[in-house]
Structure 1
Amino acid sequence: MARRVYAAVVKALGQVPRYELIDLPSPTSNQVEVQVIAAGVHQLVRSIIGGRHYIKPKTSPIVAGVDGVGKLSNGEKIFFISMTPPTGTMSEHVNIHRDMIIPLPNNADPILFAAIMNAGMASWMALRQRARIQPGETVLILGVTGSSGQIAASAARLLGAKHVIGVGRNTSILDQLLSDGKIDASIPLTNDEEQIQQAIAKEAAGVDIVLDFLWGRPTEIAMAGIQSARKDPAQRLRWVEIGQMAGPTIQCSAMFLRSKNIEIMGSGIGPISLTEMLKDLEHMVPLVMEGKLTTSVITIPLKDIETKWEETANAKERVVVVM
C-alpha cells in the first residue's frame, strides 16, 4: 500500500528540485525499503536533472539522486544505488533493488559515504576497470583541483601509481596537493596555452594513464604536449574520459592516433555495469573507514533543496542532502 513521503521533486528537466510529497508504493519482491539518511548532490545528479546527461528520464515527475546511505528495517546501515530515473534517492524513504546495496559498518559516517562513493567511483572504476592500472605506472589527472580530481589522486596512489601529475586551475589546491604528497608535479591551467603545453611535454611525456575530468580545450592542449615529446611511440597510453567540465567535444589529431599507441575510452554508466560498479565499490569501503579516501562536505536539509540547489552549484566541497 502506497504512503506519502517527502522528496526532492522535479516536474520537468531543467527545473530546480522542490520539497514535495510523493507516493511511495510498497516494495516489490526484489526490493527493500530504505530509510534514507543522506544522498549526494553529484555533478551526475545535476546533469541528469538538467537534461544534459545521456541518462534521460522518460517520465515525470522525477525524484533527484542516484545513490545514498540509509538504514534497512533491521537497522543495518547500507550504501545503495538507484540509476533508474524517475525514481531517485533524495527522499525520506525509497525502494531499492536488493542487488544494489552494499553493507556499511555501523560506525560508518553516512554523510561522508554519501559524498565520496560516487566521486571515488569515478576514478576507482576508471583506473581498475578501464585503464587496468599496474603498479609503478604514471598517472596524469586533468582537473585534479576539483573534489573528484583530488580523490582521484589518492585513488591512484592506493592502486599503485608511482608518479602522479596534477593539472588544474586552482593553484592553492595544487600547492596543497603537492605539500601533502598526493601529487608529484603540478601544472596550473592559469598559464597561457603554450606554457601549459610545454609543461605537459616536460612532465608527462612518458605518462601511462590520463584521467580526464575536463575534456574540451585542456584535453587538446594536453594531447598536443604529449604528442610533441613522447620518446617511445609504442608505449601504451590509456586516456580515460570521465567528465566534461571544460566542454563536451574536442578536436583530436589523426596523426596523434596513428603515430602513438593511444587508447581513448570512456568510463561511466554504460562501459561499466552497475553490478561491476558495486563489486568495486565494496573495495572502497575499508579505505574510507581508514581515512585513506576522504573529502570535504557541506550539507543541505532536504526541506531546503529548492533554495540551496543553485547556491551550492559551484561549491568546492561535495554537497550532500540530509533527510
Structure 2
Amino acid sequence: MHAAIITAYDAPPVYGEHPEPVARGEHDMVVDVLAAGLHHLTRSKADGSHYSASGVFPLVPGMDGVVRDPSGRLRYAALDDTNLGTFAERTVIDSRRSIVLPDDVDPVRIAAAMNPGMSSWVALRRRITFREGQRVLILGATGNAGRMAIQIAKRFGAAQVFAAGRDATRLAALTGLGADRALTFDDVTAAADVDVVLDFVWGEPAAGAMLPMLTARADRSAPLTWIQIGSMAGASAPVPSAALRAARLNIVGSGIGSVPARDFIAELPELAKAVGEGAIDVRARAVPLARIAQAWSEKTSERLVFVP
C-alpha cells in the first residue's frame, strides 16, 4: 500500500510504499482510510515539538480520520500512540477508540473538524464545570480550533464570547460565527470580567494579557478559569507571580493525559452529529495523499484533509 513516511524529525513526509498493516490485538481492525486531517497536533508530533512525540522512525503520521471498517461501515477513529497513522491507504484502529458514522456524512468535513473541535468541546465539557450563562474569552480565535471554539461555547450556552487574535481581517469575520466582540491582544482587558479563558496560544501573548486582565476585573475575588489548550505562540509562558495572588485565578490544562481517553471518546458522537448536521462551520480542503510533500508546509486558513 501507499503511505506518507517520515524518517526524521527534520525530514518532510515522503509518499511511498509501506508494508500492509496487521491487526494484532483483540479489538484491532484493519480499515481503509477515507480522509485524515492535517492537524497542528499531527505536525507537532511529527516534528518532535509535542510532548507526546515518540521519536521512533519510520513514522506514518496522522492521529485520526474517517475510515471504512471490514463490514463496510464508516467510522471516525482516534488512534493511540502508533507509528502507523492515518496518512495511508489502510491502517489499524482499536474499535473501542472509534464511533460509527451515518453513511451519508462527508468524510472530509468530519476529518477536518473533529480534532480542532474536540479541543474546546472537551475542555468545556470534561475539564471544568461550565455553566450556561458564563462568559468566555478565546485567545487565538482566528485559527480553525479557535473559530470552532466560538461556536461551541455558544452552543453550550455562553452568555458572551470574546474572540481575540492578531489578524484584523480574520477577526472581523468572527462576529458572523457568534462572537459578541472581536479583540486584538492589546484590547483583551475589555474581556476582563469573563469566567473562562480558552487559550490556544500560550507563550508571551498569554502571559502579557494575564495580569492586565486580572487587575482590570471588577471583582478580583470572582473565579477566573484559564484553560491552556494550545501553544501556538510558545511552549512556555512567563506567568507573573502577581497574577496568582492578585485575583482568584485557576490555570488548568486540557489535552492528552489531563483528560482520560474514555472521556474524549464519550464526547465524539455528539460532536460528530453537530458537525455532520452543519451546526458548526468547517473550512476544509481535500488534498490527494500523493501530494503530501508539497502540502505539508502550506500556510492556509483551511484545514487540509488528505484522501488516499
TM-score by length of 1: 0.92
1:21 aligns to 2:21 (yes or no): no
* Aligned pair partner of 2:180 in 174, 177, 184: 184
1:292 to 1:18, Cα distance in 2 relative to 1, 3 A: same
Structure 2: how far apart are the matches of 1:119 and 1:73? 28
Instruction: Give the Cα separation in 1 of the matches to 2:147 and 2:53.
Output: 28
Structure 1, unmatched stretches of 5+, are: 190-195
Determine the structure 2 residue equivalent to 1:44.
Answer: 41
C-alpha separation in 2, matches of 1:181 and 1:87: 36
Q: How many residues align?
A: 307
Q: Does structure 1 residue 317 correspond to structure 2 residue 302?
A: yes
Paired with 2:244 and 2:114, the residues of 1 have a C-alpha distance of 34
Contact 2:32/2:90, CA 8 A, preserved across alignment: yes
Kept after mapping to 1: 8 A contact 2:34/2:65: yes
2:48/2:55 contact within 8 Å kept: no
Q: CA deviation at 1:58?
A: 4.3
Contact 1:153 1:182 in 2 (8 A): yes
Matched, 1:75 2:98: no
Other structure's SS at 1:264 match: strand
Aligned partners of 1:131 and 1:209 also within 8 Å: no
1:223-262 aligned within 5 A: 223-262=210-249
Shift of 1:181: 5.2
Contact in 2 for aligned 1:216/1:250 (Cα 8 Å): yes
- Whole-angstrom CA distance in 1 between matches of 2:40 and 2:52: 13
Asked whether the 8 Å contact 1:39–1:321 carries over to 2, the reply is: yes
Instruction: Confirm or deny that 1:33 pairs with 2:21.
Output: no
Q: Report the CA distance between 1:307 and its aligned residue.
A: 2.1
Q: Deviations over 1:193-249 (max 9, x none)?
A: xxx1xx322x21211000001111211222122122112122111101111111121
Cα pair 1:139 1:207 within 8 Å, conserved: yes
Scaled by the length of structure 2, the TM-score of the pair is 0.96
Partners of 2:174 and 2:198 lie apart in 1 by 16
Whole-angstrom distance in 1 between the partners of 2:232 and 2:179: 21
Which residue in the other structure is 2:202 paired with?
215
Q: Which residue of 2 aligns with 1:192?
A: none
Read off the aligned partner of 2:37 and give its amino acid letter.
G
Matched AA of 2:18: I
Alpha-carbon distance in 2 for matches of 1:119, 1:88: 18
The alignment-based identity, stated in percent, is 35
- How many Å apart are 1:254 and its aligned residue? 1.4
Q: CA RMSD in A?
A: 1.3
